[in-house]
Amino acid sequence: MSVLAFALFLSTPVLNQNLRTEPAGKLTPDPAAKLLPDKLGEFRASDSVPSPESIDENTHRRLGITSWAARTYAFKDAQRFSVVVNTTASDSGAYAELTERRSGVTGIEGFINDVGVGTASFSYSDGKRNHLTFFKGRVSASLTDSGGDSRDIRLLINLARTLAETIDKGEGDIPVLVKHLPAWQAISPSVEYALGVETLQMRFGSKSVFDAVTFEGGAEAVIANYDQQRLVLIEFNTPQLATENNDRVTARIQDLRNQGLTAPSAYRRVGNYAVFVFDAPSEVAANQLIDQVKYQQVVQWLGENPYSYREAVAEFTQTTLGVLVSVVKASGLVLLGSLVVGGFFGALLFTRRRAQQEVQDAYSDAGGMLRLNLDEVNSTTDPARLLGPRN
């Protein structure tokens, strides 16, 4: 029984990944059409939702697209905007579509990365029209204005934000694999995400090292540019898949070099990652870039986490200790502040009194000591008892 449970534990993620990256059947307008109502804020639809256009089967399988819909909206019966919405089988699929669109326009004039719409977005102008693409959850959307002298990117952004507010945020973040890239925030505008080997073959050719790679089990990859170097990071879901692909990749690289064909500047397996560097100035530079990739293992429990109580106790203990340390620090700072302020005012008061005492001593006939004045006690003085001037 335990063997069967273990087998189900291993197979379930793989099945889920296959369902996520390989949607079956012909594209339909639903559920994408439901995201395009007759009215979006101040924008009103000027047409009905058309039937889905024919999309290459390999394309929608590669990106995990499950439905497609488009509609035209007008702002106060004036400027018009075209909106195209795709739903995908996963958040990663929607992000992959966004990065594929972005890769073709990153270098053009007027490109803006992240215009604050959805989870990630970008916009650009082709000189005639403004374009904006964003993804949120399992949805990617592309919007275009009608162009002309009246085009205003702010209206396009407002329409995109209104649409994004109606979409479920899903995981609410870009795929975590992107954040495992070296200096990922700096190079994020050039990142391209891949859910299948077809994307890598499109970028590096059909006769490349990636002929030996399989995305079986739901592997995902990211392509990033570091100056003239290109880094490819593939994550496999299990050590077994990582080992099998590593063996094939190593043999394929040797085969490419023997044939005098283009091979990676450097390759290394890092945990369940396969890391490739292309177009590096030297093998040393390529390996230095690979050294910055750190494998971060994520453990997910199928069902209830048996260590949840222990983790909760550890978190409570850590929080309590943090509060205690903060209180001690605050008390120490208050005490120190009190001593400093008290010492300052004490020194000031002492200095003032000392100055007053010095002034009094300067006019004293008793040498600064107390003098008992008894001359004024008697109201009268007997002249007979006084000595004369010659005595």
Q: What is the structure's pLDDT at 59?
A: 73
Q: Could you tell me the pLDDT band of residue 140, with boundaries at 50, 70 and 90?
A: very high
Measured CA to CA, the distance from residue 380 to residue 79 in angstroms comes to: 115
* Per-residue model confidence as pLDDT tens digits over 283-322: 999 999 999 998 876 555 556 667 667 777 777 887 888 8
Q: What is the structure's pLDDT at 124?
A: 92
Q: Which of 152, 153, 133 is closest to 142 using CA atoms? A: 133
Measured CA to CA, the distance from residue 319 to residue 384 in angstroms comes to: 95
SS (H, E, C) the chain: CHHHHHHHHHHHHHHHHHHHHCCCCCCECCCHHHHCCCEECCEEECCCCCCCCCCCHHHHHHHCEEEEEEEEEEECCCEEEEEEEEEECCHHHHHHHHHHHHHCCCCCCCCEECCCCCCEEEEEECCCCEEEEEEECCEEEEEEECCCCCCCHHHHHHHHHHHHCCCCCCCCCCCHHHHHCCCHHHHHHHCEEECCHHHHHHHHCCCCHHHHCCCCCCCEEEEEEECCEEEEEEECCCHHHHHHHHHHHHHHHHHHHHCCCCCCCEEEEECCEEEEEECCCCHHHHHHHHHCCCCCCCCCCCCCCCCHHHHHHHHHHHHHHHHHHHHHHHHHHHHHHHHHHHHHHHHHHHHHHHHHHHHHHHCCCCCCCCCCCCCCCCCCCCHHHCCCCCC
Q: What is the structure's pLDDT at 208?
A: 92
Cis peptide before 264 (omega within 30 of 0): no
* Per-residue model confidence as pLDDT tens digits over 335-391: 888 888 888 888 888 888 887 776 665 555 555 555 555 555 555 556 666 666 655
Helices assigned H by DSSP within 84-238:
91-103, 153-164, 184-187, 197-204
* Per-residue model confidence as pLDDT tens digits over 58-108: 677 788 888 889 999 998 867 889 999 999 999 999 999 999 999 888 878
DSSP secondary structure code for residue 209 in this structure: G
SS (H, E, C) 151-173: CCHHHHHHHHHHHHCCCCCCCCC
> CB-based burial of residue 182 (10 Å sphere; 0-12 exposed, 13-18 middle, 19+ buried)?
middle
* Per-residue model confidence as pLDDT tens digits over 318-339: 788 888 888 888 888 888 888 8
Topology of 1-173 in CATH?
Protein Transport Mog1p; Chain A (3.40.1000)
* Per-residue model confidence as pLDDT tens digits over 194-231: 999 999 999 998 889 999 999 988 899 999 999 999 99
- Boundaries of CATH 3.40.1000.20 in the chain? 1-173
Q: What is the structure's pLDDT at 276?
A: 97
